[in-house]
Copies of this chain bind each other. A is one copy, B any other.
Amino acid sequence: MLKNDLFLRALRGEVVERPPVWMMRQAGRYLPDFMKLKEKYDFFTRCQTPELATEITVMPIEQVGTDAAILFSDILVVLQAMSIEVEMKNSVGPWLPHPIDGERALNKVIVPDAADALSYVIDAVKMTKIALEEKVPLIGFGGSPWTLLCYAVQGEGSKNFDRAKEFCFTQPQLAHRLLQMITDTTIDYLKAKVEAGVDAMQIFDSWGGLLSPADYAVFSWPYINQIVQALKDYIPVIVFGKGCWFALNEMGQSGASALGVDWTCSARNARYLSGGQITLQGNFDPSRLLSPIPVIEKEVKAMIDAFGKDRYIANLGHGILPNIPVDHAKAFVNAVKNYSE
């Protein structure tokens, strides 16, 4: 039995004493201990070594005090499992030597036995569950098929992922074939994580907000929705689409347990757009953590007042930035913990 199940109770929509809090990328570069491991081991070594992934996952629980852990990993491991080569270059980010640029490249992509191909993640889940000693729940995650296609086709990070969009707009049949392969792999992968013991699942649609609502309805949402349908009876699912305010209504009807929102969508708009019943998660501007601590405390209070204490999970509106002082991150977490109406 979990000692702190606040996060899971908020996902179930129960009345809680205060909102739970965690931060996207909470096991990240703002933590000095993370940076020490980063100097010693490259990115995918950290992902692929269960001992390291476990150590990193547990860091923010001990050092910042969040109410949930999220497994240290990366959304791009799914592409690697599909035999799409992905490197992580320092100060550049993801780099794919052979982006999917047409049918010939697509023909080499496989739908693997994900539990097998990504057994190191499954091992990390099991090891982390033990290390957490039932203190807080463990969140597993995956990238949305659209977001993974963005990297698979563009081959690197981008402001607008124009090559990925061009692929979708000029070769929609190939795009849908790739999206379905990613979806099938992801479902298989996330189900294995559920079996290994994660307590909740978050889908990150980091680049959904680059699409028009009409294109989102074609290239992103149907695939996320397949994943939600495949998982929702087994585990609470959170859907986070950066910039996807326009899709909150449809997301709210999917059976997901919660929806993540970014800071450009006010609490009021998010409640209205999502239908008013579903648990929401977010939405502190990550740059706002650069504010002086008293301002952070004031703004966190205002955020919770606006969302309401129930059906709400306090979080950032996107990943924590590497240049945030640790005591500012702690101030954010503590401000939520000290919340009273």
Contact = CB atoms under 8 A, between A and B. Distances in A.
A332 interface: no
Interface stretch (A17-25, A107-115, A282-290): A282-290
A162 interface: yes
A284 to B, nearest CB: 9
A287 B213 contact: no
A290 B170 contact: yes
Interface in A245-294: 245-246, 263-266, 269, 283, 285-288, 290-292
22 contacts: A159-B159, A160-B287, A160-B321, A162-B287, A162-B290, A162-B321, A165-B290, A166-B287, A169-B291, A169-B292, A170-B291, A170-B292, A209-B264, A211-B285, A212-B263, A212-B264, A212-B317, A213-B266, A214-B302, A215-B285, A215-B288, A245-B245
Contacts of A245: 245
A240 B84 CA distance: 40
Contacts of A266: 212-214, 246
A243 interface: yes
Q: How many copies does the complex hold?
A: 2
A317 B321 CA distance: 28
Interface string A212-256: 111100000000000000000000000000010110000000000
**Chain A interface category by residue count:** 35 or more
Interface of A: 159-162, 165-166, 169-170, 209, 211-215, 243, 245-246, 263-266, 269, 283, 285-288, 290-292, 295, 302, 317, 321, 323
Contacts of A213: 264, 266, 269
Contacts of A215: 285, 288
